[in-house]
Structure 1
Amino acid sequence: MDVTFYGATATVTGSKTLVEVGGKRLLVDCGLFQGFKTLRERNWAPLPFDPATLDAVLLTHAHIDHSGALPLLMRQGFQGRIWTTAASAELCSILLQDTAHLQEEEARYRNRHGATKHAPAEPLYTVQDAKHSLAHMRAVGHDGLLQLGDGVEVQFTPAGHILGASSVRIAHEGRSVLFSGDLGREDDQVMLPPATGQVADWVVIESTYGDRQHIELDPTEQLGDIVRRTAARGGVVIIPAFAVGRTQGLLYALYRLKQARAIPDLPIVLDSPMGIAATGLYHRHNDLHRLTDEECEGIQHMTRFVRDVEESKALMRQRYPMVIIAGSGMVTGGRVLHHLANYGPHTRNSVVLSGFQAGGTRGASLAEGAKSVKLFGEYVSIRAEVCQIEGLSAHADQAGLLAWLKALGQAPQQVFVNHGEPQAADTLRLRITEQLGWKARVPDYRETFRLA
């Protein structure tokens, strides 16, 4: 069994891991790189393996840093099936097409305004490319078990985090490797906790929060404080948020605040077609999360859903207090860029960063106190109050990751730590060796390991 890491090494993005076992070539996740330009440029380069030789893709969940390169995989020759859970497949139908649409929109905008170094600017992939990849997607059964032939067996188990997120275990002739995927939290206010107790000889674990603990402060109270003081000065609260997971957690927090009359009765706007569609899926898949039907209906009733571009543009002419949630979560693209350009220069407004910000993203720059950010080829002054709420993260923290490892059915031969910034990954590696006494390693980009 050979495992090669083609992404999520020294970064939290671009997840791609090739597993060669039993004559099969299986790719676990196929995500886009985000953040620093040197990482983003990998998205435009040919994939570092031959997609035509792959037998299948095993997708842990639908977030773009895990699924967003699937259209590129298809374009470069992949012809097999993409296996995932039913909820993840539904989310991918939303996320991939919307991501492609946003890329097409941004290319058109740059060409129209001359804000490009290329002539003409082109999208990374098109909506048609996204649809092609979705046609190859298949859902595993409710038991999560998949037989790929030649004795290769795959098991999907719930990982919390977002709808449909799974850990993936690949087994063949008594040997097995377990990929944690992105693990959720025991105390997540929306999602159920990840399943525990899997047995594997080798484990690949994420480390997004591998060097920190979630703060004890109530994130809902923090959000309420920000909304109250921004509304008091007549400002608008802009919240960049991932369409899946973070958006629903924020809406639930705002719903609770409104129910408790802890914030003014101001408009709550979701300016994200992708986020709107994903929120509807949370209502349909209520067996996969903690929210009741009454709470889901209350969130729907509370929220103003903005779908078309003209309505989104009209929001930027409003001057009364409101909360606008828009993608993307790390301020790398989407409608939030226009809201940031419009509201960011004014001190009465607030920008709320509601989760992890990868190095090299605009979100990371804002978190570090940047006074200006580059938007559409020009630098825009940021005078709005910038706040960061860490407690809304859907990722397990260091204690949660170690607890998940401790609950495994046996001690693995080795743990591989990926999907984390260098400090986070190496800190978790050290904790695994010190606290659990297990061998642990942080793999390098394109490094191969023979598991025997």
Structure 2
Amino acid sequence: MLTLTCLGGAGTVTGSKHLLTHDGRRILVDCGLFQGLKNLRELNWEPLPVPASSIDAVVLTHAHLDHSGYLPRLVADGFTGPVFATPATRDVAELILRDAGYLQEKDAEYANRKGFSKHSPALPLYDLADAEASLEHFTLAEFGEETALPGGARLRFRRAGHILGAATAEIDWAGRRIVFSGDLGRYGDAMMVDPEPVERADYIVVESTYGDRVHEPGDPVDRLGDVIERTLKRGGTVLIPAFAVGRAQLLLYYLWQLKRAGRLDSTPIYLDSPMAIDATGLLHAHLADHRLDRESCRQMCAIAEYTRDVEQSKAITASAYPKVVISASGMATGGRILHHLKAFGRDPRNTLLFAGYQAAGTRGRALLAGKREVKIHGEWIGIEAEIVDMSQLSAHADSDELMTWLSGFRAAPARVFVVHGEPEASDALRVRIRRELGWEARVPRPEQVFEL
């Protein structure tokens, strides 16, 4: 008997972990960290419903933290098997997991030094050494090639757009074909390739991040230029919390387009995220994973001043000169963006521009919902800056684009499982699938077991 159990990414847009079990063997598709609401983050500290040592392999659709960030903890808890990923996903995961381990160490140290944690001492979920240990488990699987998995299963990755290396995962096991969407990218994205169609599946597991909405139409370059220009006219700084992998690079591309059009003149642009800097460099190493040629990559990457060390970052915070600052993390949950938010968020001349999905329980979601006070490092900070939401810059397919990908299947699957979305978004996509395609669709509950 083949079963599917969602250990994360069910009823929430984070912590994706989907467990396939057959004849005593287990394959985990994605191994994400829960983020956002405190009750979700606390799940990271709880043991999985199955022992880590009992999982035979992990299949990683892409490297974003909510899909890969639990890997170091899984390894520390006893997982010894391979982690199958595309080459670019392996490279991006190295950046993301090392950074996550390092930041958790530093955040725990900072909390202990300042005394604002409820725990004594504050401890990291995992550290840099754990992150590095998890990287030793990676096994590369190329796009389009069939790869053998433990227990007689077979894997095929196809391009999903979204970020470098992102894939949909087709797994054939026990006479069934299950296709996992991972996170699907946009169609016609300026940088990333379109999601590849998949023709057949017995079961589909599809994300629903934007399952209940369609992205705002219009040219994102023009709108971004308008926001920056009006901020500069009032002597302000545009601060952009951005995911270090994906959004930071797309922002550089659009800012390059604005520079070429003569709209930003000599406006200083800073990329203040060591991980985003390294991820930008990976564009050159994985040209087949995106639309840009080598020369466009070079010119795009040259428009910003890259700041790696802390003193350079502090100098940006201290400067009152109008500028554009791109910094991680994308939902303002940690990293250097918090120090900039404390400095620039209080001034009404400045603008905070959100360029991606903001999960429930994050500072980004709170600000977009109208809150004008956020807690940072144990201190409540009043926010007077202009708040701008540019969902056009999202790396996630919207509801229409999710339906476009699903429509690429030539025959109806036995069932579609709608995951990786907040409850309203998942249910809205479920309804669309049943109404427009006539397919059976379910929104799994956490740890609900389905026989396939």
CA distance in 2 between partners of 1:141 and 1:257 (Å): 35
Does 1:317 find its partner at 2:318?
A: yes
CA distance in 2 between partners of 1:185 and 1:301 (Å): 25
Q: Which moved more, 1:168-177 or 1:423-432?
A: 168-177
CA distance in 2 between partners of 1:78 and 1:182 (Å): 24
In structure 2, the partner of 1:345 is 346
Cα pair 1:2 1:20 within 8 Å, conserved: yes
Cα pair 1:15 1:29 within 8 Å, conserved: yes
In structure 1, the partner of 2:197 is 196
Aligned residue pairs: how many? 451
CA distance in 2 between partners of 1:421 and 1:150 (Å): 33
How big is each residue's C-alpha offset from its partner over 1:75-103, in whole Å with a ceiling of 9 and x where there is no partner?
A: 11101011100000000000000111111
CA distance in 2 between partners of 1:31 and 1:233 (Å): 41
Where 2:287 maps in the other structure, the secondary structure is coil
In structure 2, the partner of 1:174 is 175
Where 1:116 maps in the other structure, the secondary structure is coil
CA distance in 2 between partners of 1:378 and 1:129 (Å): 30
In structure 2, the partner of 1:12 is 13
CA root-mean-square deviation: 1.1
Give the letter aligned to residue 67 of structure 1.
S
How is 1:103-122 mapped onto 2 (pairs within 5 angstroms)?
103-122=104-123
CA distance in 1 between partners of 2:95 and 2:145 (Å): 22
Unaligned stretches of 5+ residues in structure 1: none
CA distance in 1 between partners of 2:32 and 2:199 (Å): 25
CA distance in 2 between partners of 1:4 and 1:197 (Å): 23
CA distance in 2 between partners of 1:373 and 1:412 (Å): 45
CA distance in 2 between partners of 1:113 and 1:173 (Å): 54
Cα pair 2:6 2:448 within 8 Å, conserved: yes
How is 1:35-184 mapped onto 2 (pairs within 5 angstroms)?
35-184=36-185
Cα pair 1:22 1:151 within 8 Å, conserved: no
In structure 1, the partner of 2:435 is 434
Instruction: Give structure 1 regions of 4+ aligned residues with deviation exceeding 4 angstroms.
Output: none
CA distance in 2 between partners of 1:131 and 1:149 (Å): 24
Give the letter aligned to residue 160 of structure 1.
G
In structure 2, the partner of 1:3 is 4
Q: Which moved more, 1:169-178 or 1:238-247?
A: 169-178
Where 1:6 maps in the other structure, the secondary structure is strand
The CA deviation at 1:22 is: 5.1
Cα pair 2:417 2:441 within 8 Å, conserved: yes
1:26–1:235 Cα change, 3 Å: same
Does 1:385 find its partner at 2:414?
A: no
Give the letter aligned to residue 34 of structure 2.
F
Unaligned stretches of 5+ residues in structure 2: none
Give the letter aligned to residue 247 of structure 2.
R
CA distance in 2 between partners of 1:394 and 1:351 (Å): 19
Does 1:29 find its partner at 2:30?
A: yes
CA distance in 2 between partners of 1:152 and 1:132 (Å): 26
The CA deviation at 1:281 is: 0.2
In structure 1, the partner of 2:277 is 276
Q: If the length of structure 1 is used for normalisation, what is the TM-score?
A: 0.98
Give the letter aligned to residue 300 of structure 1.
C
Q: Which moved more, 1:268-277 or 1:308-317?
A: 308-317
CA distance in 1 between partners of 2:157 and 2:35 (Å): 26
How big is each residue's C-alpha offset from its partner over 1:192-251, in whole Å with a ceiling of 9 and x where there is no partner?
A: 001103311000000001111111122221111111011111111110010111111111
- Percent identity over the alignment? 50
In structure 1, the partner of 2:366 is 365
In structure 2, the partner of 1:407 is 408
In structure 2, the partner of 1:296 is 297
Q: Which moved more, 1:19-28 or 1:428-437?
A: 19-28
Where 1:189 maps in the other structure, the secondary structure is coil
The CA deviation at 1:148 is: 2.1
CA distance in 1 between partners of 2:40 and 2:14 (Å): 9
Where 1:348 maps in the other structure, the secondary structure is coil
Cα pair 2:143 2:159 within 8 Å, conserved: no
In structure 2, the partner of 1:252 is 253
The CA deviation at 1:112 is: 1.6
Q: If the length of structure 2 is used for normalisation, what is the TM-score?
A: 0.98
Give the letter aligned to residue 254 of structure 1.
L
Cα pair 2:252 2:301 within 8 Å, conserved: no
The CA deviation at 1:294 is: 2.1
The CA deviation at 1:44 is: 1.4
In structure 1, the partner of 2:418 is 417
Where 2:359 maps in the other structure, the secondary structure is coil
CA distance in 1 between partners of 2:424 and 2:213 (Å): 10
In structure 1, the partner of 2:231 is 230
Cα pair 2:143 2:156 within 8 Å, conserved: no
